[in-house]
């Protein structure tokens, strides 16, 4: 059985940082938009999940954790995406959250604001009047506005389906290019392996694998250049086609 460390092209004794770095590199290489294929993309994701689940090189086939066999395809999970970022499951439910969908909104109204506007105007993410200021500022619709997110759409998908070009790169939860800051409302990032607890506590979420869990949501998108997120960002190239303010 193929070792997940081989798939990620690292030594079996690699530490957590090395695993994370290798995953970010390999998920990019494997992405269909970057010369890979859906099969290879899923293979890399599966390898990472196996390591995260406690795979031990000398004990192949008996991983700790979720009980999945070593050769089983990965459980896509509730927020899983195919390599193009399309939903393969219900997005937005994080580990430990209730499985009952009855509390989830049929659709969510998202009020969005581009982080570059904050930068330009000297506004802060913690400003309690941030969205009121934005509403009064006669901003371009690309920078400020509202749209509805339908069930099954990630936030990023919803933005794209409504004609917006928000930043992204891997579409697989392996970078911070698609990061948004949730200012009001609920949205979890299922299967988060990238964001620190502190970032999550400050409302940072990955829009490519997250969906609103409240009927109303206020988000600042394009926060990828925040100091802690910058180092998780993937290089801008053709893989990252979207620059909202270009």
Binding site for ligand FES (CB under 6 A): 168-171, 173-175, 177-178, 206, 208
Q: 3-state DSSP helix/strand/coil percent for the chain, to nearest 5?
A: 30, 15, 55
The residue among 114 and 177 lying less far from ligand FES, judged by its C-beta, is 177
The residue among 70 and 236 lying less far from ligand FES, judged by its C-beta, is 236
Instruction: Judge whether 215 and 103 are in contact, CB under 8 Å.
Output: no
Structure tokens at 62: 């008996």
- Shortest reach from residue 193's CB to ligand FES, in Å: 10
Residue carrying structure tokens 């990032």: 189
- Shortest reach from residue 24's CB to ligand FES, in Å: 9
Strand runs (DSSP E) across 69-173, as ranges? 108-114, 144-149
The residue among 7 and 229 lying less far from ligand FES, judged by its C-beta, is 229
- Shortest reach from residue 40's CB to ligand FES, in Å: 17
Gap between the Cα atoms of 80 and 225, Å rounded: 25
Gap between the Cα atoms of 117 and 78, Å rounded: 33
- Shortest reach from residue 173's CB to ligand FES, in Å: 5
The residue among 170 and 181 lying less far from ligand FES, judged by its C-beta, is 170
> In 3-state terms, what secondary structure has residue 146?
strand
The residues, ordered by sequence, that sit 6+ positions from 169 with a Cβ below 8 Å of its Cβ are 28, 175, 177, 178, 233, 234, 239, 240
The residue among 208 and 217 lying less far from ligand FES, judged by its C-beta, is 208
The residue among 130 and 234 lying less far from ligand FES, judged by its C-beta, is 234
- Shortest reach from residue 159's CB to ligand FES, in Å: 12
- Shortest reach from residue 13's CB to ligand FES, in Å: 27
Instruction: Judge whether 176 and 232 are in contact, CB under 8 Å.
Output: yes
């Amino acid at each position: 059985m193929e070792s997940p460390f081989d798939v990620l092209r690292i030594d079996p004794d690699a530490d957590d940082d090395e695993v994370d770095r290798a995953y970010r590199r390999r998920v990019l290489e494997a992405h269909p938009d970057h010369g890979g294929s859906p099969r290879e993309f899923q293979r890399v994701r599966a390898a990472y999940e196996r390591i995260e689940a406690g795979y031990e090189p000398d004990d192949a086939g008996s991983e700790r954790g979720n009980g999945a066999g070593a050769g089983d395809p990965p459980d896509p999970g509730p927020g899983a995406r195919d390599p193009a970022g399309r939903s393969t499951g219900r997005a937005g439910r994080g580990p430990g959250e209730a499985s009952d969908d009855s509390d989830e909104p049929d659709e969510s109204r998202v009020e969005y604001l581009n982080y570059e506007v904050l930068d330009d105007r000297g506004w802060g993410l913690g400003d309690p009047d941030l969205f009121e200021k934005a509403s009064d500022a006669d901003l371009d619709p690309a920078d400020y506005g509202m749209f509805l997110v339908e069930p099954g759409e990630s936030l990023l998908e919803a933005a794209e389906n409504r004609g917006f070009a928000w930043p992204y790169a891997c579409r697989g939860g392996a970078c911070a290019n698609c990061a948004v800051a949730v200012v009001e409302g609920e949205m979890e990032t299922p299967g988060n392996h990238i964001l620190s607890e502190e970032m999550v506590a400050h409302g940072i979420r990955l829009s490519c694998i997250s969906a609103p869990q409240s009927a109303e949501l206020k988000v600042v998108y394009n926060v990828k250049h925040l100091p802690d997120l910058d180092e998780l960002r993937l290089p801008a190239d053709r893989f990252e086609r979207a620059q909202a303010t270009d």
